Amino acid sequence: MSLHSTRNVDMGKQESELAINIRKATSIGDRSQEYATQALSFPTRLNTTPGKHVRACIVYTYDHRSSQSFWAGMKV
């Protein structure tokens, strides 16, 4: 089994999609004000279930067998 992906993919596009998914997975900007107020009162309710952006980051690291790009994106 090869350690490198055999799919024909555009790495630049995937890197930019990863950056977008990281930003969306870590932001609370698109939640309603009511939910944000509740989340501040009850911190355990924040991100209790992973969203599609978190799953996209997980799939990216699995497909590329490396989390280096993910952690580089988290530093920004």
Side chain identity, residue 66: S
CB of 45 closer than 8 Å to CB of 39: yes
pLDDT at 68: 95
Q: Is 37 exposed, middle or buried (0-12, 13-18, 19+ CB in 10 A)?
A: exposed
pLDDT at 31: 53
pLDDT at 62: 94
Count other Cβ atoms within 10 Å, centred on residue 51. 11
Give 10-residue mean pLDDT values along the chain (76 residues).
56 91 80 51 49 91 94 88
What's this model's pTM, rounded to 2 decimal places?
0.60
